[in-house]
Amino acid sequence: MRGVLDVCRGAWLALFALALAGCGHPASALPDFSSLVKAVSPAVVNITATSAPTTPEPVAVDDNGPGTPAWARKYLAPEAAAPQASGDDGDPETESEISTGSGFVLWEDGYIITNEHVVDGASEVTARLSDGRQLVAKIVGMDKPSDIALLKVKADGLSPARIAKPGMLKVGQWVLAIGSPFGFDYSVTAGIVSALGRGLATEQYVPFIQTDAAINPGNSGGPLFDMNGEVVGVNSQIYSQTGGFMGVAFAIPIDVAVKVARELRDSGRVRRGWLGVVVQEVTRGLATSFGLDVPRGALISEVTPDGPAAQAGLRAGDVILSYDGYRLNSSRDLPPRVGSSDPGQVVTLELMRDRKPIRVKIQLGELPQATSSTPAARAVPVPRARPAVDLGLDLRSATAHEQSKAGIDGGLAVVGVGHGAARNAGVQAGDLIVSIAGAHPRTPEEFDHFVQRLTPGSTVPVLVERGGGPMFLAVEIPQR
């Protein structure tokens, strides 16, 4: 019996050993980054930015509370060192703010790339190399929309980073970050690519790489490497409720960063394609009203007069489904595509218009470098409330000033919103109704008459002007 037990025990041990051999020890499945770190570290640079002395101002206290979700200032604000006091006796004390960030050597002739917010406002920038050399860096150019800055140093023997080919990065792939979080030089963290093409409301022209590699203040501008030792992104932002890392970080794709850097080097500024439209998300209700099976694409809520889109015949209510062959799943997919295109380039748009698909070719313009406007004073005329019974709206005809401000001919001002379909769709008092289901009523009577002819139970798009911007809302026509 004992012999049988020994045989059985031996068999189980043999099977267990085979299982371990087949699965591998858990530790052996994890990558060893030591050789990679040694190879790529010479390209990484520590950045110190010193701002001009300023008179101290009272510090504002944020009373939102520690639990309030918030994006930290630029999410990867440079780690600030102690202020430097100066000034003669009797004079107000001034301060020079010193902050640190990261960067990497892009080209061997002295060009270094970092984040725009790391060096913005700096009067002096110092780059410290991995061999200990400290070099004065000149700011060649900065681009706020992409958060990229290009620096230049005079030095020999630089080790430029190797740049990854675009389009090769995949979700789930290991990535490595090297930088100076909280001033700790050449700190190494690792993680995986969590998502690609991530759109953020704060940055319209960058399809971010999302990663869970630990990124903190001071990592700004540092490189994100793949397992081949090639830079795939420039660490830029984190999403945080505390100001520190919480598992969600964002990097600028390297092809976007290099394109910006080349233009800053060659011309000192960045030229971007311009379509001349304002777009919004397509909700489930709007998708139904525009004849789409699923919510996707970018809904045009406003077309800039005399812009490229206007010249090509695009209009409010068109839904852009694809841009030059690239399917748009969200309205946030459009700005990065347009911005990365060259001014003058001819692109093909696939649209949904009046529930029918069409294709339009359009020549892009150049995105204006800056826009400014001085809004007119808001007029508050005495309203003449007229009920729109079916939808629960009190309306009046828009004044000439309201029409001029919105850039429309006609329109109805919403004086009040009662219980009903309009409130359910999100219509608010103060909105200016521009159109409903493609019609442009000019009086409350015209509005009521048109609504009564709509099919009960159908969902129709209503274009409103709110806070200086256009917006489509999906209104379901109630049953009678």
Q: Where are the domains positioned within the chain? A: 31-55+67-270, 273-366, 386-476
Is 273-366's fold the same as 386-476's? yes
The active-site residue out of 99, 102, 117, 431 is 117
Among this protein's residues, is 318 annotated catalytic? no
d(CA 329, CA 94): 51
**Does the structure show a pLDDT above 70 at 364?**
yes
d(CA 392, CA 381): 22
| 416 neighbors 433 (Cβ within 8 angstroms) | no
Output the average pLDDT for the chain: 80
Model pLDDT for residues 122-160, shown as the tens digit of each residue: 889 999 998 889 999 999 999 998 999 999 999 999 999
Task: Give the CA distances from residue 221 to residues 100, 237, 248, 268, 438, in Å, rounded to whole numbers and listed in that order.
Answer: 10, 9, 16, 19, 47
* pLDDT band with cut points at 50, 70 and 90 for residue 2: very low
**Does the structure show a pLDDT above 60 at 55?**
no
The active-site residue out of 99, 187, 194, 220 is 220
Reported pTM: 0.68
The active-site residue out of 143, 147, 390, 431 is 147
Name the residue with tokens 């980054």.
33
Model pLDDT for residues 19-28, shown as the tens digit of each residue: 444 444 454 5
Architecture category of domain 273-366 in CATH: Roll (2.30)
Among this protein's residues, is 147 annotated catalytic? yes
Among this protein's residues, is 220 annotated catalytic? yes
Model pLDDT for residues 190-237, shown as the tens digit of each residue: 999 999 988 776 677 888 999 999 998 889 999 999 999 999 999 998
Model pLDDT for residues 418-462, shown as the tens digit of each residue: 778 888 888 888 889 998 988 888 888 788 878 887 888 888 899
CATH of 386-476 given 2.30.42.10, 3.30.710.10, 1.10.1670.10, 3.30.505.10: 2.30.42.10
pLDDT of residue 135: 92
The token pair that represents 392 in the structure block: 């629960």
CATH of 31-55+67-270 given 3.20.20.70, 2.40.50.180, 2.40.10.120, 3.30.70.890: 2.40.10.120
| 336 neighbors 302 (Cβ within 8 angstroms) | no
**Does the structure show a pLDDT above 60 at 34?**
yes
**Does the structure show a pLDDT above 90 at 178?**
yes
